[in-house]
């Protein structure tokens, strides 16, 4: 363990990175942010003739993410300081590295252990999107890539109009669809299909006034631009709305890690995310939709028709 007082954050980063090259965890002693009134990060604080740099807990959380670590322990060491332990994440425990087959996202997969509804930033951004599209006036909702229907669970829990809306969920993973059917077994307004989105037309679903797709349309087996335009042209009502979620995170060893990842890069690279999100935004704007992009771990594109 090393004590840091006035060193800058990069010096702390270099120390932790070196320690973590050969160890599973590394510890530092720093100013306790709860002991002093809030400052801006890096401001100097004088306490009992000693000088420290102030940093809040969010700074240490961000640093842990950059180091691909979790903060496994925080405890008081002295009147002014705390111990922070950074523990390396086990990158083998990640659904992103599992075999890419139909059950990669199934009921017995690592992915099934992830509950996005318990991630406050994702949950609250999604709820904002639902309010933005004025869910209470929607009558038919389609979810492409519904998996075990987390997005529908949120609507059922927090929106009184749930029973007045018809919900249709599509996913190619049979076990995930079975989980969704089991959860909504008493809800006659919910229908689920195990179907490849490439063959969506086989179902003769008709049009919807809200289409949701979270983290699905960018899948490697889908032709993104062509499929997106086809969905808008054939399944979205002229006065409808859309909520799309573009993943900007990964889950590793129980932790959510910020930043989209693409092959051949060992760091976050957002070009594909931006390219696809901007394509959808421009296309929908041409169709007379008002479009916003919000969120952090998922970039939520929310579109509502402005046609009269």
- Percent of the chain scored above 90 by pLDDT? 84
Could you tell me the pLDDT band of residue 308, with boundaries at 50, 70 and 90?
A: low
Cβ proximity of 187 and 156 under 8 Å: yes
The mean of the pLDDT values for the chain is 93
Q: Does domain 95-305 have CATH number 3.40.50.720?
A: no
Quick count: other Cβ atoms within 10 Å of Cβ 24? 11
Could you tell me the pLDDT band of residue 105, with boundaries at 50, 70 and 90?
A: confident
Could you tell me the pLDDT band of residue 97, with boundaries at 50, 70 and 90?
A: low
Could you tell me the pLDDT band of residue 127, with boundaries at 50, 70 and 90?
A: very high
Hey, which residues does 307 pair with through a beta bridge? none
Is residue 226 pLDDT above 80, yes or no? yes
φ, ψ dihedrals at 235, nearest 5° = -125, -10
Is residue 177 pLDDT above 90, yes or no? yes
Could you tell me the pLDDT band of residue 112, with boundaries at 50, 70 and 90?
A: confident
Could you tell me the pLDDT band of residue 93, with boundaries at 50, 70 and 90?
A: low
Strand 50-53, strand 44-47: pairing = antiparallel
- 41, two tokens: 């990060």
Sheet harboring 25-31: ordered strands across?
Answer: 2-3, 25-31, 81-88, 69-76
Q: Is 251 exposed, middle or buried (0-12, 13-18, 19+ CB in 10 A)?
A: buried
Is residue 100 pLDDT above 70, yes or no? no
Domain boundaries of the chain, sorted by first residue:
2-88, 95-305
Q: Which pLDDT value is given to residue 261?
A: 81
pLDDT in tens, 181-211: 999 999 999 999 999 999 999 999 999 999 9
Could you tell me the pLDDT band of residue 96, with boundaries at 50, 70 and 90?
A: low
């Amino acid at each position: 363990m090393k004590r840091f007082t006035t060193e800058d954050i990069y010096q702390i980063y270099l120390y932790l990175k070196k320690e973590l090259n050969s160890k599973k965890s590394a510890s530092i002693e720093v100013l306790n942010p709860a002991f002093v009134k809030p400052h801006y990060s890096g401001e100097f604080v004088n306490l009992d003739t000693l000088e420290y740099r102030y940093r809040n807990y969010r700074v240490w959380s961000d640093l842990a993410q950059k180091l691909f670590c979790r903060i496994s322990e925080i405890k008081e060491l002295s009147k002014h300081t705390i111990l922070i332990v950074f523990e390396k994440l086990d990158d083998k425990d990640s659904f992103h590295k599992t075999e890419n087959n139909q059950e990669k996202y199934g009921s017995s997969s690592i992915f099934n252990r992830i509950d996005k509804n318990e991630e406050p930033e994702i949950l609250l951004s999604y709820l904002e999107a639902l309010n933005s599209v004025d869910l209470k006036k929607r009558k038919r909702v389609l979810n492409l890539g519904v998996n075990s229907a987390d997005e529908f669970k949120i609507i059922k829990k927090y929106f009184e109009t749930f029973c007045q809306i018809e919900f249709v969920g599509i996913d190619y993973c049979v076990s995930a669809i079975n989980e969704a059917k089991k959860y909504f077994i008493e809800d006659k307004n919910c229908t689920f299909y195990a179907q490849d989105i490439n063959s969506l037309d086989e179902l003769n679903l008709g049009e919807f006034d809200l289409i949701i797709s979270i983290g699905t349309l960018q899948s490697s087996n889908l032709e993104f631009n062509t499929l997106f335009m086809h969905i808008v042209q054939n399944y979205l009502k002229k006065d409808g709305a859309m909520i799309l979620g573009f993943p900007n995170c990964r889950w590793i060893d129980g932790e959510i890690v910020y930043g989209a990842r693409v092959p051949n890069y060992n760091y976050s690279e957002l070009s594909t995310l931006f390219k696809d999100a901007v394509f959808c935004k421009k296309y929908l704007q041409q169709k007379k939709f008002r479009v916003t992009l919000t969120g952090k771990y998922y970039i939520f594109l929310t579109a509502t028709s402005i046609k009269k």
